[in-house]
């Protein structure tokens, strides 16, 4: 019989996420109605205040429920490493890629019920230059879009806003050289995008189907070549599940990699701009305990 989740928790919500400010009161009330005893509930307007709230919550409660988008969730996961506190979450962002990876419902009612009936499971994390992440990182066009997309466009249009801005940004984007060093081989290639995956979803699309948060390995997926048309086709083929979608990328699987680029590029880690190449990449097995929706039957 699977272990049960703690029934006591603290809720910490990023009020700057796409739906966080609007849904805070409703989320708190619905969690209580679902049988979760909330010791405290905090709505945070800045990254610093959210960091402080999560750190304090981990010391006070057996489970902390974080509400926010992929960037907020990934930024907070570092503080759960080495603790017995269960990480639970409400997906309140734009793409909600990690929620899709573990099968968490994207609507508030569904997510609350999933937490109320979830099971605690150890999952892997990815790590880039000492920064832990939940789902996926990328470099190339995606970080450029994430760094420059107007906040109003993202807030009003959600994922469609990203796509609109991606089309605009592609006009001034150039391919880059990649050097990927694994345990046995070094590979060099041109690329328009590199995806570093612990989970299957990136930007709300299932792009890295071979990634597994329980494998102890990381997947580096490269859209090889210099053609932006091929990059666009990679996204389209993945979105509509064409049989040819696997032919648009090259994949490398392992527990550790070193990746460098010419020119040097910044990496987007779960939607937030992070380190600049070169990158030391690794998988950290069974790093944290997460509230995962129960499997049917």
Structure confidence at residue 163 (pLDDT)? 60
- H/E element holding 87? strand 86-91
Q: Is 297 a member of any domain?
A: no
Residue 14 and residue 35 share a domain: yes
Residue 128, strand partner residues: 131, 281
Residue 86 and residue 135 share a domain: no
Q: Report the CATH number at residue 36.
A: 3.40.50.10330
Q: Is 56 a member of any domain?
A: yes
Task: Tell me how far apart the alpha carbons of residues 118 and 291 are, in angstroms, rounded to a whole number.
Answer: 6
Residue 255 and residue 149 share a domain: yes
Residue 215 and residue 83 share a domain: no
The count of domains in the chain is: 2
Residue 21 and residue 104 share a domain: yes
Residue 204 and residue 184 share a domain: yes
Residue 160 and residue 105 share a domain: no
Instruction: List Cβ neighbours of 237 (8 Å cut-off, separation of 6 or more).
Output: 244, 245, 248
Residue 58 and residue 145 share a domain: no
Residue 220 and residue 93 share a domain: no
**Average pLDDT of the residues of the chain:** 88
Q: Is 1 a member of any domain?
A: no
- H/E element holding 296? none
Residues 43-72: tens digit of each pLDDT: 998 889 999 999 999 999 999 999 999 999
* Percent over 90 (pLDDT), the chain: 65
Residue 137 and residue 222 share a domain: yes
Q: Report the CATH number at residue 229.
A: 2.60.200.40
The pTM assigned to this predicted structure is: 0.87
Residue 21 and residue 105 share a domain: yes
**What is the signed CA dihedral for 104, 105, 111, 117, rounded to 10 degrees?**
-60
Q: Give yes or no for residue 1 having a pLDDT over 50.
A: no
CA 81 to chain centre: 16
> What domain range is 84 assigned to?
8-123+288-292
Gap between the terminal Cα atoms of the chain: 12
Residue 199 and residue 100 share a domain: no
Residues 163-218: tens digit of each pLDDT: 665 666 666 678 999 999 998 899 999 999 999 999 999 888 889 999 999 999 99
Q: Is 149 a member of any domain?
A: yes
């Amino acid at each position: 019989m699977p272990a049960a989740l703690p029934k006591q928790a603290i809720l910490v919500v990023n009020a700057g996420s796409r739906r966080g400010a609007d849904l805070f009161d409703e989320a708190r009330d619905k969690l209580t109605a679902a049988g979760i005893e909330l010791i405290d509930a905090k709505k945070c307007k800045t990254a610093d205040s959210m960091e402080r709230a999560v750190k304090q919550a981990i010391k006070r409660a057996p489970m902390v429920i974080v509400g926010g988008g992929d960037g907020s969730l990934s930024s907070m996961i570092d503080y759960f490493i080495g603790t017995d506190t269960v990480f639970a979450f409400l997906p309140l962002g734009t793409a909600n890629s990690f929620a899709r990876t573990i099968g968490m419902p994207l609507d508030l009612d569904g997510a609350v019920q999933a937490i109320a009936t979830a099971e605690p499971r150890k999952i892997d994390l990815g790590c880039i230059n000492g920064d832990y992440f939940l789902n996926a990182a990328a470099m190339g066009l995606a970080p450029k879009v994430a760094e420059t997309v107007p906040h109003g466009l993202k807030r009003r249009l959600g994922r469609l806003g990203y796509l609109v801005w991606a089309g605009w940004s592609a006009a001034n984007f150039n391919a880059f050289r990649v050097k990927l060093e694994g345990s046995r081989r070094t590979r060099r290639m041109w690329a328009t995008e590199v995806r570093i995956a612990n989970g299957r979803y990136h930007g709300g699309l299932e792009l890295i189907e071979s990634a597994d948060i329980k494998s102890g390995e990381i997947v580096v997926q490269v859209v090889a070549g210099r053609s932006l048309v091929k990059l666009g086709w990679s996204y389209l083929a993945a979105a509509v599940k064409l049989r040819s979608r696997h032919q648009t990328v090259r994949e490398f699987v392992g527990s550790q990699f070193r990746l460098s680029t010419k020119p040097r590029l910044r990496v987007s880690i779960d939607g937030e701009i992070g380190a600049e190449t070169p990158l030391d990449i690794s998988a950290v097995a069974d790093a944290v305990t997460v509230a995962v929706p129960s499997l049917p039957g």
